[in-house]
Chains A and B, each alone.
Chain A
Amino acid sequence: MATSLSNVFLKGIAARSLSRPLNGLFYCTRYSNTVSNDSDTHDDFKPGNKLEGSGICLSNVIEQDVKDNPVMVYMKGVPDFPQCGFSSLAVRVLKHYDVPISARNILEDPELKNAVKAFSNWPTFPQIFIKGEFIGGSDIILNMQQTGELKEKLKDITSKQ
């Protein structure tokens, strides 16, 4: 049942990313006061500037993505069809572990791409979040696999399946 639900959700995420899900879904004034303080977010990874026009709403979307999905990847392409060697590498590493991978294709939405960069203060893709924590890009996730750190971090996600 849990696996089935995860698969449905994963398909939903992937399908939505292919149809520009954020287009027209959000509208907000330039200086929205909607600012959420996520105490779980390490200071290093908190968005530096929350008053960036439409970026403010995307920032909230990203916060929700990262919170709701134990493994969240912002990548070029989607897990079944990566469009960049680095995004492909990151997904291949994660697929070694039996965990649901949620992803958004940043090639489909330049505003999402810029919002994710601002959110994590990290300039390149893929960007990987595990249980709400920013992990890094493909170099770091590969290194963590080699040291065994990744297995440790994903351990309790696997056990919930």
Chain B
Amino acid sequence: MSSRGATAVLSRASRIRSKLQTALEATVLEVDDVSYQHAGHAAVKGSSDKETHFNLNIVSPKFEGQSLVKRHRLIYDLLADELQSGLHALSIVAKTPHETNPSK
């Protein structure tokens, strides 16, 4: 069982989730594959890899005091390997826990 698990190839979605959770200790982490919406997109024609577009919704205390540019840059840096191996685009919503509950 464990050996079978160890040899399984993780999907890109799983790799993204794992990298972000490890680094950001997110309280909310939504990773949605929306590649189907971009099927036929000129820039990805011929790409054999189907997992090209993801929407990310992340809530993490690591974003405290960070501008939007810095938050997005942090996420792009964490996923640099994916962006170089077929990931085409990310839509990012990145908030701190406080921003999702402003009344507290």
A residues adjacent to B (C-beta < 8 A): 44, 76, 83-86, 107, 121-124, 134-137, 139-140, 143-144
Name the B residues within 8 Å of A44 (CB-CB). Answer: 69-70, 73
Name the B residues within 8 Å of A76 (CB-CB). Answer: 42-43
- Measured CA separation A126–B72 after assembly (Å): 14
Name the B residues within 8 Å of A83 (CB-CB). Answer: 42-43
**A76-B43, A84-B41, A136-B68 are contacts. A121–B89 as well, Cβ < 8 Å?**
no
Which of B43, B68, B69, B80 lies in contact with A123, CB distance below 8 A?
A: B80
Contact A124 B43 (CB under 8 A): no
- Measured CA separation A136–B89 after assembly (Å): 14
Q: Mark B70-81, 1 if CB is under 8 A from A, else 0.
A: 101100100010
Contact A124 B68 (CB under 8 A): no
Name the B residues within 8 Å of A84 (CB-CB). Answer: 41-43
Contact B69 A139 (CB under 8 A): no
B residues adjacent to A (C-beta < 8 A): 38, 41-43, 68-70, 72-73, 76, 80, 83, 89-93
- Measured CA separation A124–B76 after assembly (Å): 9
Which of B69, B83, B89 lies in contact with A140, CB distance below 8 A?
A: B69
Query: Smallest Cβ distance from B87 to chain A, in angstroms?
Result: 9
Which of A107, A121, A122, A139 lies in contact with B92, CB distance below 8 A?
A: A139
**A84-B43, A124-B83, A124-B90 are contacts. A134–B76 as well, Cβ < 8 Å?**
no
- Measured CA separation A134–B38 after assembly (Å): 27
- By CB atoms of chain B within 10 A, which of A83, A123, A134, A140 has the most? A123
Name the B residues within 8 Å of A139 (CB-CB). Answer: 68, 72, 91-93
Query: Smallest Cβ distance from B42 to chain A, in angstroms?
Result: 6
